[in-house]
Chains A and B, each alone.
Chain A
């Protein structure tokens, strides 16, 4: 793809969808998240060659292939590491990291903390279905402690991870919760997240109809957040600690400036560095 400096006509969401047809289970919430993502790109009048979608591994992490943007379907849990490097090397690109709760909070949990802390200007979309969908239904960090299955008889008994509180404590600059069953609101939230400076985190409740069929009921359980977002981290923390995980909307917007590299341009070429490291 070549990047044109000319202003280009606004594209329809469909222009951001590739010819690859998703292989997600019929009914999976991730179809809707794909639709929201492409709607958000169209809303912001972006061009596919100015966007990179970076993921790890999981059903949800297949998402880059279904877009016409640059994509990187990387290593399990490492979407944020790859996305951070990419954004710092190519700051002109709109960088989206995307994946699941297993990818982002389990194996990728450490990267999640530091991505929030670093506050690099990018957007992280997590399709949270409280389960490892791709590997056939193991509990994830966001699984309820009493979720009973053959793989976790009687439930794990472990307290569920609260990604929004963790993101806030670690320094994310924009925090929102969305619901896959509401693609238009989700598109608007993703668009707002992309427009916000720094590290934006959008947790999307995205039902896994195969391993968590009861999540079809989420559409009766979610509600618009009863209060406006706050820029007061202490107030946001109290709200996020006490909500039941079903409030939809922007929940926190901070004012930290996005991280930028301060390193002056080096005169060294990669070959010089190789020379320095030669054993």
Chain B
């Protein structure tokens, strides 16, 4: 995991208009702040609260040219939607080509989705033998 990339993206996305910094996005209609990205990510994922590490990671998974379509909600962003959702839910970005990058593990939304039944692997699940009980939600 390359923390330097994340931190640098995080700091510039933390309020500064991306359009001001990214020449390719200078004509963007939507103000491409971190907040607009986060709002769209929340709506798409079904989660009201998303850890910032996941949001920053998901943002960094998109090519700069895809952000506009993603935030604009005009239906043109199928691929970007899936890229962001996979990043938020799995905690990593695994492009078809190129090196995968993990930005979160236990915070990945897929684990939050099932947390009442299954613990995050490598974290203790409960009292020894807890697994023999019927899960509460069954």
| B is bound to A | no
Point out residues on B near A: beta carbons under 8 Å.
none
Point out residues on A near B: beta carbons under 8 Å.
none
